[in-house]
């Protein structure tokens, strides 16, 4: 079938809206009519080839829409279901079988190969292959093909328009606090970088009962938003001594979360911990980036963990976040700014400049 998709044809090039062809779903696949798709930092670093994926390609991995058709072996959803789409895993490796799909041993090829595992793409333009299956979905398109494994059925009585960002950015920030750090009630936490992932982490810290929630950023407008979403304290790290400020507020932190992907920020987050504190790394840095840590701080009991996709099982965690949203305890929709699909390049630019917290394309 013919669809419209945003194709990237060169490193750091623009998203070009083109008419291309989309395959019919295979037996384990789902055809989804897209309603919205969030713009995520990972889409932009893949566009810029900091995370390599073959070009030309269609990115987009925070899709939400309505199931149109399903393959013969699909039992999870049926036509008419509203779905959000998340990351894809193999489902068969030791990590997947232990209930840790974000640690799937085949995570990279399933999400960044630019094709199905057999090398085929679902998109093309004439005889030209357009690389697809970014995070198992490539949802910067009017229709897309996803695997049954990475679609999550969402309630039909809530607006599907807001559901897409749950599949990556929101799930990652919230899951980093709830699933990865397992933040305790009464604890202290600092979130470094309060874009959409960081704000999601702040909301999760509120839900978890953290009593000192410190937002750290270099933009005052984002710090103001962080307080609106539940931060108890804010620090502009461009204007203040971050370690000294955290020490005055909380002594040593129980938890820290680095969402910026900057080695110097990770070092500060780690050094701000108490002797039994845990720092989680979410931010994506260019491959090969390194950070120096004080070995004495590690020896004293501080620890550092890497976090992918909030260590979430999407079929379990996304419905949990939706329940919290219904209760008014997780108002993630307040982060969203909608853009027409045709304005994808403006949405990307506004996201990079921090002018919008969570840009969502509307088809």
pLDDT tens track for 137-146: 999 999 999 9
Q: Average pLDDT over the chain, rounded to whole?
A: 96
Q: What is the mean pLDDT of residues 60-75?
A: 97
Name which of 169, 166, 204 is nearest 316 in CA terms.
Answer: 166
Has residue 317 been placed in a domain? no
In the prediction, which pLDDT does 284 show? 84
What are the distances in angstroms from CA 205 to CA 217, 246, 256? 17, 17, 11
Q: Using an 8 Å Cβ cutoff, are 133 and 116 in contact?
A: yes
229 shares a domain with 158: no
| Of 232, 239, 198, 203, residue with least CA distance to 357 | 198
What is the rounded distance in angstroms from the CA atom of residue 200 to the CA atom of residue 206? 10
Exposed / middle / buried, residue 111 (Cβ in 10 Å: 0-12, 13-18, 19+): buried
130, 240: one domain: no
Question: What CA–CA distance (Å, rounded) separates 166 from 96?
Answer: 20
Quick check: is 320 in a domain?
A: no
* Same domain, yes or no: 275 and 350: no
pLDDT of residue 286: 78
Residue 323 within any structural domain of the chain: no
Does residue 204 lie within any of the structural domains? yes
**What is the pLDDT at residue 14?**
98
Count CB neighbours of 359 within 10 A.
27
Q: What average pLDDT does range 33-53 have in this prediction?
A: 93
Is the pLDDT confidence value at 108 over 80? yes
- In this structure, the answer to whether residues 79 and 104 fall within a common structural domain is yes
In a domain, 198, yes or no: yes
Residue 350 main-chain phi, psi, to 5 deg = -65, -35
Instruction: Give the count of beta carbons closer than 10 Å to the beta carbon of residue 120.
Output: 13
In this prediction, residues 327-331 reach a mean pLDDT of 97
Residue 52's pLDDT band (cuts 50, 70, 90): confident
Q: Are residues 102 and 174 in the same domain?
A: no
Residue 217 within any structural domain of the chain:
yes
| Token pair 């073959």: residue | 54
**Do 39 and 92 fall within a single domain?**
yes
Query: What is the count of structural domains for the chain?
Result: 2
Quote the pLDDT of residue 38.
Answer: 97
Lowest mean pLDDT among 146-150, 274-278, 287-291, 356-360: 287-291
209 and 260 in a single domain? The answer is: yes
pLDDT of the residue at 50: 85
pTM here?
Answer: 0.95
Maximum alpha-carbon separation in the chain:
63
Range of weakest confidence among 87-96, 208-217, 236-245, 282-291:
282-291
- 10 and 159 share one domain: yes
Q: CB neighbours (10 Å) of residue 310?
A: 29
Same structural domain, 254 and 354:
no
Evaluate the omega torsion of the peptide bond into residue 56 and state whether it is cis, within 30 degrees of 0. Answer: yes
Q: What is the mean pLDDT of residues 269-297?
A: 92
Give the integer Cα–Cα distance in Å for 48 and 356. 20
Same domain as 353, residue 244: no
Q: Quick check: is 95 in a domain?
A: yes
Dist. CA 205–CA 190, nearest whole Å: 10
In this prediction, residue 290 has a pLDDT band, given cuts at 50, 70 and 90, of: very high
103 shares a domain with 76:
yes
My answer on whether 111 and 15 are in the same domain is: yes
In a domain, residue 151? The reply is yes
Is the pLDDT assigned to residue 287 strictly greater than 80?
A: no
Q: How is residue 189 written in tokens?
A: 């936490």
What CATH number is attached to the domain comprising 230?
3.40.50.720
**CATH number of the domain that residue 24 is part of:** 3.90.180.10
pLDDT tens for 181-212 read 999 999 999 999 999 999 999 999 999 999 99
Q: Which domain holds residue 14?
A: 2-167+331-362
Q: Which of 178, 189, 208, 320 lies closest to 257, judged by CA? A: 189
Query: Which of 145, 125, 118 shows the shortest CA–CA distance to 133?
Result: 145
**Residues whose CB falls within 8 Å of the CB of residue 202, separated by 6 or more in sequence, listed in order:** 191, 194, 213, 215, 226, 229, 230, 231
């Amino acid at each position: 079938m013919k669809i419209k998709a945003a194709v990237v044809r060169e490193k750091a090039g623009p998203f070009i809206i083109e008419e291309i062809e989309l395959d019919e779903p295979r037996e384990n696949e789902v055809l989804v009519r897209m309603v919205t798709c969030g713009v995520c930092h990972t889409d932009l670093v893949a566009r810029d080839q900091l995370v390599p994926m073959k070009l030309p390609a269609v990115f987009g991995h925070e899709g939400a829409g309505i199931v149109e058709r399903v393959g013969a072996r699909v039992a999870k959803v049926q036509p008419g279901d509203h779905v959000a789409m998340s990351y894809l895993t193999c489902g068969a490796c030791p990590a997947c079988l232990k209930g840790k799909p974000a640690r799937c041993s085949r995570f990279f090829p399933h999400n960044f190969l630019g094709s199905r595992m057999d090398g085929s793409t679902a998109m093309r333009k004439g005889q030209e292959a357009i690389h697809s299956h970014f995070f198992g979905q490539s949802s910067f398109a009017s229709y897309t093909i996803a695997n049954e494994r990475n679609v999550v059925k969402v309630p039909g009585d809530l607006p599907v328009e807001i559901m897409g960002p749950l599949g990556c950015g929101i799930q990652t920030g919230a899951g980093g606090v709830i699933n990865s750090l397992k933040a305790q009630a009464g604890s202290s936490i600092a979130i470094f970088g309060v874009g959409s992932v960081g704000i999601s982490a702040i909301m999760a810290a509120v839900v978890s009962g953290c009593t000192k929630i410190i937002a750290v950023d270099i933009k005052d407008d984002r710090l103001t938003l962080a307080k609106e979403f539940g931060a108890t304290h804010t620090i502009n790290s461009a204007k203040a001594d971050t370690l000294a400020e955290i020490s005055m507020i909380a002594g040593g932190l129980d938890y820290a979360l680095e969402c910026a992907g900057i080695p110097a920020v990770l070092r500060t987050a780690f050094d701000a911990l108490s002797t039994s504190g845990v720092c989680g790394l979410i931010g994506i840095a260019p491959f090969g980036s390194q950070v120096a840590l004080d070995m004495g701080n590690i020896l004293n009991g501080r620890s550092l963990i890497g976090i992918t996709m909030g260590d979430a099982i999407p079929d379990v965690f996304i419905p949990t976040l939706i329940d919290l949203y219904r209760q008014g305890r997780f108002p993630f929709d307040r982060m969203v700014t909608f853009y027409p699909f045709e304005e994808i390049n403006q949405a990307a630019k506004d996201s990079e400049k921090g002018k919008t917290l969570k840009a969502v394309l509307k088809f």
